[in-house]
Chains A and B, each alone.
Chain A
Amino acid sequence: MRTDDLKQLLHEQPVKRLHWLAKGRIHRHFRLGKARLIQALLALPPEQHHQILDDLSRLRPSTQRTATRHPSQGSRAHPRSETPRLATPSHPDQRESCVTVADLLEGIGVPPPQPFHPDAWQEEAITRLREGDVIVSVPTGSGKTYVAIEAARQAMAVDRTVIYTSPLKALSNTKLTEFVQLFGADRVGILTGERRHNPHAPLLIMTTEILRNLLYDAAGGEIDMRLDTLGLVILDESQYLADPERGVVWEETIILCPTQARLLLLSASIGNPEEIAEWIRHIRAVPCTLIQHHHRSVPLRAGYLHPSGKLTPLFTTRDIPRGQPHALHPETRRLFAEYERETLGSRGH
């Protein structure tokens, strides 16, 4: 469907329905009038348009659909509470504006194999590293490893040493296997407190503590060849900066990191990435780019599974509504209240 057609369709909808569509998709949608709402909906990425259409087409027959679906799926444990609701759909609007469990589970499956195309943010991170430091703060599972690999490749291509640090030895090990497969066993080394394996390889894996110690020694005059040619330092899981015991090591590493080396901080979503970028800009000579987004590459949906085995959507929308913790699905709200009552009651016995 073309955008014009969608626009037409949206114009035909009552404002209320537009608001319902905007829920969880558009920030502060309740502030917008009809024209701005439609504008904002159309400005969403194209893949969302399909979902909007889906949602729209589901709107009208929804009462019927829930009525036919529930008995087959409904929990046998609560036949009495189910029936009256079906007989008198007293709040059609409320019911209409909520997803059903069928909607929630729609589209499960394995995507067809696709040629690999780096995401725009991944490419940007890699190019920005040529001119300065980069901080990446994106949701888990977005593909930060790809950035690390390409950045390392880029630095190694110009004969620079790369140090990759992870917070845990166990993770170092996984990365070692992964990097050896990509770059060959002779180009990857690993340093731990008591062991050095291939220490003169251009790509070195270590824990952040070990790197900090290297930086101490280098500053203290113990010349280390590896630091002379150091071109890139990758700090994976940088959110460890907030770790009460070990956070200080991340700070020291960033402060003591030689100026000629680029810093690449990879982190899961954190609350104040801008502040951290600001700090690094403040203390380092090169520019620092913050790459940040909240977009989940695989959409994430939330469900509620009652101990009886009944599954309901957790929220009124299918995708997790950012910034709306109270948008609980009414059915879930009811089931959970029941759960609390029952468990509290049984604790009393």
Chain B
Amino acid sequence: MLVVKPQVMPPVIHPVDLVQTLRHKRLTPAIVFLTSRRACDEAIDSFEHRNVPLPAHRSRTIAQVLDHVIRLYPSVAQHPLLPTVQRYGVAAHHAGHLPSWKIAVEELMRHGCLDAVFATTTLAAGVDFPARTVVITQSSVRKARDLTELTVSEIQQLSGRGGRRGKDLVGFVVVTPSPYIDLHVITRGLTGNPEPIHSQFVISYPMVLNLLKAHTLDHIKSILEKSFAQFQLNQQATALEEKLETVEAQLAAFGPRPCADWITQWHWFNLAQTHRRPRHAICQDAPPILARLPFLTPGRVVGLPKGRGVVLRRYRSRSQHRAMLTVLNTQERIIECPVAQVTEIYDHTLNIEPARVFPWCTPKSLQRLMREVRELPQHLQGFPLPEDTGNDSVMLPEPLTDEFPCPMCPSQPACRKDYTKAWRLRQEHQQLTKTIHAIRSQLWHRFQQHVEVLQQFGYLTATCQLTADGEWARLIRINHSLLLTELIRMDAFTGIEPALLVGVLASIAHEDDRPGIFPRRSPALASVLGQVRTVAHSLASYEDPPLLRSDVAALGELWISQPSLSWGEFVRTTTMAEGDVYRLLARTLEYVSQLHNLKATHPGLADIADQAMQLMRRDVLQELP
């Protein structure tokens, strides 16, 4: 008998076969979403290899439509894909192409000239026109170098382009597998509800300056409260407040006790009792150590010879009964150290949920502590610690035990019974109150942090008025605004060549770290960039420094320093795709125009910016408004 071997299937359908199949089933025109720009370009190339051209009349129509587009956008005529599009009726479009090419593809689709457009899923620079069919070949996309699953919203945005109103009775999504596919992600995306929107509100320096220019602090507070961010935070807070109420109700159930704050009272009583046991050991401690002990409760922030830390537990060393601490330090290490080494005890405690075993608190609270320890404020109020002279005024746990009224108190049995639960509830209560407060005041707090920085740099007065510098700095409304305004203030751009200015701004604007080949930079640019880097570095704790790539700067410089260079020649000096180069220059142009807005205060700089803008806007950069 003949044994039929299982046929090895190609992992992906060949693009030409795909388009043939779609044509055959009357599913064209189609938009085919592929994983990468390269995949799109290769798909188009493969049509050249198979060489199955369109009938002549269709090629003619395509040529007519293209002629029309070229009249409006001459750069389209230079596009390397032009012959392929005419011959095979398929096109590629992705962020590597110029916006004018996108317009051409869109126009061809609108006239129904194409059978398929191969595109990447990036919506920002990708397709936003419909077709009869959308082909999905992947369930994840590359975002910032990681593969992430497509969200339901994204899948619905992609598939939503299937079916043109007025041109199609029905539309289709066709899923075809590739090694990048998880079918379930796609079916979930097609059938599910899109993800809810979460606020992405962030406070920035220009925002603070512009708000303070127009409004009083009180008014700004109410403006921030109007944000969707605060709206969503309030919902979180309300949910927590409900929880808080139940905790309060549970606490109230214990009823009134002889001591108003019986829980704290019992906490100390309890502590004092536990400390009684190693009485002989305590007696060996020197008075300064004895003085420190009552403060060194878990959660206390202390200073050690090498930085600060938070106390996780207190114990006695087995051999010498020395008072010891387990401390979580700012390097996130858990270390043991004798109490005698504590240099400072701060009037600051962090919340901690103690546990009986290492690391002496619950993993969750350890996580939180690590963060909180790192974020401790610079200046903390310390307790005055008695030096070596033993002082009577210090509270010692030992003699205190006898002063507690608890042993005689009629409610002692009830307190003893309820204490553990009440203490837990009390802790939860404090935790919730803190969290709610943090949630409600989060935006305002961040606003104030920004105000402080701007005051420190002299953009705002102590009373939150804009200084002379603040008045113009508020017109710089871009990422890295602090870097730019500081550079202007230190005259880094005074009398600078337009080409150098554009180079520097390009390197500030560019946010992509993919390597490539670029033109050489001039020594002058290298020296300015060096200066910019130093400034950016010194600002790093107030604003994330930009990449400041010198190769990208050189590209910006070249476009200005050689005004006779055509776009085609220019793009050939780098391995960056022309769409990326275009976006880089467009974004740089925006930055330059912000400097141009400083006419009133910096006429010289505005003038240079103006020259730079004139020089930048030529060729392709002039095609779109």
Contact = CB atoms under 8 A, between A and B. Distances in A.
A248 B223 CA distance: 13
A77 interface: yes
B191 A110 contact: no
A213 B188 contact: no
Interface stretch (A56-64, A123-131, A265-273): A265-273
A68 interface: no
B278 interface: no
Contacts of A326: 187
Contact of A298 (B171, B202, B227, B229): B171
A139 B163 CA distance: 12
B175 A276 contact: no
A141 B166 CA distance: 11
A303 B184 contact: no
A272 B17 CA distance: 41
Interface string A73-89: 00001001000000000
Given A275-B196, A325-B192, A140 B160 contact: yes
Interface stretch (B6-14, B358-366, B541-549, B561-569): B6-14
A324 B165 contact: no
A171 B196 CA distance: 25
Given A170-B99, A271-B197, A303 B191 contact: no
Contact of B13 (A169, A269, A307): A307
A182 interface: no
A252 B7 CA distance: 59
Interface in A237-257: 239, 241-248, 251-252, 254-256
A45 interface: no
A269 to B, nearest CB: 5
Contact of B25 (A220, A251, A252, A311): A311
A177 to B, nearest CB: 9
Interface stretch (B79-87, B208-216, B309-317, B426-434): B208-216
B179 A255 contact: no
A325 B103 contact: no
B165 A336 contact: no
B103 A174 contact: yes
A271 B157 CA distance: 13
B59 interface: no
Tell me whether chain B's interface is mostly helix, strand or loop, or mixed. Answer: loop
A184 interface: no
A8 interface: no
B480 interface: no
A302 B198 CA distance: 30
A197 B11 CA distance: 51
B197 A219 contact: no
Give the residue among A77, A190, A314 with the most B Cβ atoms within 10 A.
Answer: A314
A216 B164 contact: no
Contacts of A176: 625
Contacts of B223: 255-256
A65 B617 CA distance: 64
Interface in A78-130: 80, 105, 107-111, 114
B9 A77 contact: yes
A276 B175 CA distance: 33
A294 B197 CA distance: 17
B282 to A, nearest CB: 56
Given A193-B593, A194-B596, A325 B184 contact: yes
Nearest to B215: A219
A268 B173 contact: no
Contact of B11 (A248, A282, A307): A307
Given A194-B613, A241-B200, A342-B9, A315 B187 contact: yes
A195 interface: yes
B161 interface: yes
A305 interface: yes
Interface stretch (B318-326, B346-354, B498-506, B584-592): B584-592
A259 to B, nearest CB: 12
A242 B590 CA distance: 23
Contacts of A170: 99, 102-103, 125, 624
B169 A107 contact: yes
Contact of B175 (A241, A252, A314): A314
Interface in B582-625: 586, 589-590, 592-594, 596, 613, 617, 624-625
B164 A271 contact: no
Contacts of A157: none
Contact of A279 (B103, B231, B593): B231
Contacts of B197: 239, 241-242, 270-272, 275-276
A309 B193 CA distance: 31
A343 B179 contact: yes
B406 to A, nearest CB: 51
Interface string A338-349: 110011001000
A304 B174 contact: yes
A248 B592 CA distance: 23
Give the residue among B164, B169, B192, B229 with the most A Cβ atoms within 10 A.
Answer: B169
Contacts of B10: 307
A59 B143 CA distance: 46
A251 to B, nearest CB: 5
Contacts of B7: 77
B168 A111 contact: yes
Given A244-B200, A272-B196, A309 B13 contact: yes
Contacts of B229: 251
Interface residues of B, number: 92
Interface in B196-252: 196-202, 204, 207, 210, 213-215, 223, 226-229, 231-232
B477 A216 contact: yes
B153 A108 contact: no
Nearest to A347: B179
B362 to A, nearest CB: 32
A251 B228 contact: yes
A301 interface: yes
A314 B187 contact: yes
Give the residue among A107, A143, A309, A323 with the most B Cβ atoms within 10 A.
Answer: A309
A192 interface: yes
Contact of B191 (A209, A279, A320): A320
B52 interface: no
B105 to A, nearest CB: 12
Contacts of B592: 194
Contact of B210 (A77, A220, A276, A301): A220
A300 interface: yes
A245 B215 CA distance: 25
Contacts of A192: 625
Contacts of B103: 170, 173-174
Contacts of B187: 314-315, 325-326, 328
A35 interface: no
Give the residue among B11, B124, B228 with the most A Cβ atoms within 10 A.
Answer: B228
A241 B194 CA distance: 14
B470 to A, nearest CB: 12
Interface string A140-156: 11110000000000000
A74 to B, nearest CB: 14
B331 to A, nearest CB: 31
B481 interface: no
A110 B198 contact: no
Contacts of B17: 309
A308 to B, nearest CB: 6
Interface string A280-316: 0011000000000000111111111111110100110
Contacts of A254: 228
Which 6 pairs across A and B sit closest by C-beta, in order of nearness? A140-B160, A298-B163, A247-B200, A194-B593, A272-B196, A219-B214
18 contacts: A77-B9, A108-B170, A140-B156, A168-B124, A192-B625, A216-B213, A216-B474, A221-B214, A248-B204, A268-B160, A300-B163, A300-B170, A301-B170, A307-B10, A311-B25, A314-B187, A328-B183, A339-B9
Given A173-B625, A305-B13, 9 more contacts: A114-B166, A142-B165, A216-B210, A245-B200, A301-B170, A301-B171, A302-B190, A307-B11, A320-B191
